[in-house]
Structure 1
């Protein structure tokens, strides 16, 4: 299932408008999970990034009360900016201007209902630039603080230690996450070392097929769901640490927790 309909108490999708009115007023953060629908090589489904957004925000929202934080989760936005993956079937993309407009209008909606802070938890590297621009506009045009978290950035050190530096798109990292939450969606017999076609220094690639034969990076056979379970727990705590630190500061600038993004 791409987007869960098994709602929990913290999910806006389970609420009446009266419930939502109270929940928005009480929430320290309204959380928007963002994913994508795009090719993920031969062994993973096109919904990987959306599945990650769905599951990893659940971990974050359920851990937040231990820090005294209340989070209200919006339905996961399943489509993202994935134009670079369009040569492979199954990829669905919004163009950057469209994507920014969607996020801005969603943010505007919750701002109008009284939300003070929008936390965007992003699980697709291609979304990072348009999300940053959308966050800029929301903060400057609406009375809402925007916090942008690229989830993978907070796991980078652990992932590098375990998998080296070649673990990103459809590699051992994303394969491990999918095996942790949805092992039935992984084609184990199709897990092969991803052949690299090019590795540019300054040049931007046009399509992801410029870079890789099968559609991924690294060797998904190195996946480790048990290790990833620990990474998820540790990364959740690091994100909460960052949010707490930012909440302790008073600033008029954009509250951007993004560090760096992958070419996912």
Structure 2
């Protein structure tokens, strides 16, 4: 059940303690992919995983702005600080738990959110009346060529939102993009912002994918999310203290 489409009476009738909270970012993804890529993909995986899961799950509205200051040089990118992001996620989970949906899987679509989500989900579980775990879809889908606006994200978009991909700009994206994330010396990334190493914000060649690969990525990620939901639903939470 999607909260944004339900009435309060619909929500009140739901018999589950399980919820998913999609989180993403509004940030540049090269000249070919939309600023909302990370939100769109997180929502798509969340929906597919919930549909695959054998049970009822509450789907919260997505958190659309995340930790993305590294893309600040590209117009349209929005970001908040780590503390603001963690507080927003924590208080949203607390709201879900207030209504009895106190087992929450946070479905993430943005790499910049990963560390903060791991920290805040641990804090929620240790100190609040809820249990939360982060799930980053491209890690679960085993996508070593993830990049940024590269073949992985572009492929998933081509599968679920093909009209949002500017196919006529794929060559431009590849030509002005970077092969890898950052400027590495002695195991240290000297670059903090994507504009330091990518002319147009792209990392990886978005032409090396397609809708067929996107379908496989969605299948893999949704299967992993469904399995996680089942485990979270059955987990004994009595020993958290």
Q: Taking structure 1 as the reference length, what is the TM-score of the superposition?
A: 0.81
Which residue does the alignment assign to 1:77? 63
Q: Taking structure 2 as the reference length, what is the TM-score of the superposition?
A: 0.88
- Give 3-state SS (helix, strand or coil) of 1:139's partner: helix
1:172 aligns with 2:156: no
Conserved 8 A contact 1:111-1:142: no
- Cα distance between partner residues in 1 of 2:46 and 2:227: 15
Deviation at 1:146, TM superposition (A): 0.7
1:52 to 41, 48, 67: 41
- Return closer, same or farther for 1:100/1:72 CA change in 2, 3 Å cut-off: same
2:111 to 125, 128, 131: 125
1:138 aligns with 2:124: yes
- Return closer, same or farther for 1:29/1:230 CA change in 2, 3 Å cut-off: same
Conserved 8 A contact 2:170-2:206: yes
**Which runs of structure 2 are paired with 1:106-255 in the superposition (5 Å)?**
106-156=92-142, 159=143, 165-192=144-171, 193=174, 194-196=177-179, 198-200=182-184, 201-203=187-189, 205-250=191-236, 252=239
Uncovered stretches (5+) of structure 2, i.e. residues with no partner: none
- Cα distance between partner residues in 1 of 2:83 and 2:138: 24
Deviations 1:23-79 (A, max 9, x none): 2xx2242110011100001111111111111211111111112xxx22110111111
- Cα distance between partner residues in 2 of 1:110 and 1:246: 15
Deviation at 1:21, TM superposition (A): 2.2
Equivalences, count: 233
1:88 aligns with 2:74: yes
Conserved 8 A contact 1:171-1:217: yes
Uncovered stretches (5+) of structure 1, i.e. residues with no partner: 1-9, 160-164, 255-264
- Give 3-state SS (helix, strand or coil) of 2:61's partner: coil
